[in-house]
Amino acid sequence: MGLNKISHVYFLGIGGIGMSALARYFHAMGKQVAGYDKTPTKLTTELIAEGMEIHFEDAVTTIPAAFKSIEKRDSILIVYTPAVPTDHSEYTFFLSNGFSIQKRSEVLGIIAAVSYTVGIAGTHGKTTTSSLTAHILKTAQMDPSAFLGGITQNYNTNLLLSEKLKHPSAAEKPLLVVEADEYDRSFLTLFPEIGVITSVDADHLDIYGDEKHVLASYSLYAKQVKNTLIVKNTIESKIHVDIKKVTYSVIDASATYFAQNVHISKGAYHYDIVTPHATFLNVTLGLPGLHNVENSIAAVAVAVELGVAEKYIREGLASFKGVRRRFDYHIKTDGLVFIDDYAHHPAELKAAISSVKELYPHKKITGVFQPHLYSRTRDFADDFAQSLDLLDECILLDIYPARELPIAGVDSNLLLSKMKSIKKSTCTKKELIKEIANRDIEVLITMGAGDIDTLLTALKDELMKRVNTTVH
């Protein structure tokens, strides 16, 4: 459908990270934007402050009149996320009254189709990689737009909007960086000029069924890439395309792009980046974690393929502040460290915990993990246990259900029973602050994709009592 004739856009699930970026896009385009979400969050508060109407009750009567006018429905677009149930009263109202209803991914595909698109996919790493890629391109004054799966610390938003996307021209396509989401096969609406695949680990098995079908979808995505596919070297053999394919690695010299001489100094990573054309000596990354060094190589590969000069790449890497809830420091002192991370898959937990241990090898690492989804907890219980065993102490919160109903026998005690660590326990969200108050904490990392972030302020306040006591 053509988006030009649309004057009003209504979002079912407006508070989601991907949905909110689209909402911000349409709002910036001068459209009237409103929406529903299940619960208020920091993000919905920001959207309301930006001028969007949002309510939190599933009732047709709460939809603003201008967005449910049957007479004007040809100028109204309804955007929904698959997380919204089909019996949702607002959804059924729009459906039964003939409104144009599209998934978020379909609308994003329409926007990407008129852009020169860089699509960044992968089970892990895509948010940081896409955000860093957009930051490097912005540093190079290439005026990119970007739809991101997290809030960038540099720009405090999940949407970057170029002047060219605001005022499109047939003469030149605007440059667009898109985080290509594999959930519900959403990324198959994208046909990017440059595609990136960071990982193809099994996930969302409630959608895909098994690892074979996960890989099949990534292979389909790769075949939709028009010009160049950039893929992590360890999965390159699994992806077959007829276009230019380049590989990247954190340390493997057989890859097209790789890092060498990686070392840590004053809490930052320094390394050389080998490209097909030159070696960038002693670059500095403004992010912790060896996994982020790997993500940076992918972002650099995109930048080099687009012709970005080395000086802008250096500047972009050093000045990148990261993404909210991706290895996000809340306290960083000599005696106490508090980090929060979005990790919710065993491989992500392993990367986050390993990075903490690498940065603080002589300190006790205490981790709090809130499992996300009953199905994911069931499907990867053994792998979760192995990753969590890397911690010195582990506290497990109850499973965050999101869109799912409970599964018999699947709870946090299942993970606890599989862990070999001695210092492990479960705790409710309500009791966590008290639990932490009674523990000797040196380095604390909270992890999860649910609502564990609602506890961050209280946790920081509790821990800061110790810092202030130490100072005085």
Distance CA 33, CA 78 (A): 10
Question: Does residue 299 contact residue 283 with C-beta atoms inside 8 Å?
Answer: no
Distance CA 313, CA 279 (A): 12
CB atoms < 10 A from the CB of 49, how many? 8
Distance CA 21, CA 17 (A): 7
Distance CA 116, CA 339 (A): 36
147: number of CA atoms within 13 Å, CB side? 32
Listed in sequence order, the DSSP H helices in 320-455 are 346-359, 374-379, 381-388, 412-418, 429-437
- Across 435-449, b (16+ Cβ under 10 Å) vs e yields ebeeeebbbbbbbbb
Domains with residue ranges and CATH for the chain: 8-101 (3.40.50.720), 114-319 (3.40.1190.10), 328-471 (3.90.190.20)
Query: Among 167, 151, 170, which Cα is nearest to 159's?
Result: 151
- Largest CA-CA distance found in the chain, in angstroms, rounded: 68
Q: pLDDT below 70 — which residues of the chain?
A: 1, 165-171, 183, 202-210, 468-472
Q: What angle do helix axes 381-388 and 346-359 make, rounded to 10 degrees?
A: 10
Distance CA 242, CA 8 (A): 41
Residue 471's pLDDT is 41
Query: Among 251, 179, 190, which Cα is nearest to 220's?
Result: 190
- Across 225-254, b (16+ Cβ under 10 Å) vs e yields beebbbbbbebbeebeeeeebbbbbbeeee
Distance CA 337, CA 132 (A): 24
The two tokens of residue 445 are 């990392």
How many angstroms separate the Cα of 355 from the Cα of each of 85, 91, 104, 348, 394? 38, 43, 34, 11, 16
Query: Among 30, 10, 146, which Cα is nearest to 84's?
Result: 10
Q: Euclidean distance between the first and final Cα of the chain, in Å?
A: 63
Distance CA 239, CA 2 (A): 33
Given the structure tokens 């198959």, which residue do they identify?
Answer: 188
List the Cα angle 25/30/35 in 5-degree steps.
60
How many angstroms separate the Cα of 120 from the Cα of each of 226, 230, 247, 290? 14, 9, 14, 19
Residue 166's pLDDT is 67
The predicted-structure confidence for 244-277, as pLDDT tens digits, reads as follows 999 999 989 999 999 999 998 877 899 999 999 9
289: number of CA atoms within 13 Å, CB side? 24
Residue 76 carries which side chain, given as an amino acid letter? Answer: I
Query: Among 399, 396, 391, which Cα is nearest to 441's?
Result: 391
The whole-angstrom distance between residue 421's C-alpha and the CA centroid of its chain comes to 29
Residue 157's pLDDT is 93
Q: What angle do helix axes 17-28 and 104-113 make, rounded to 10 degrees?
A: 50
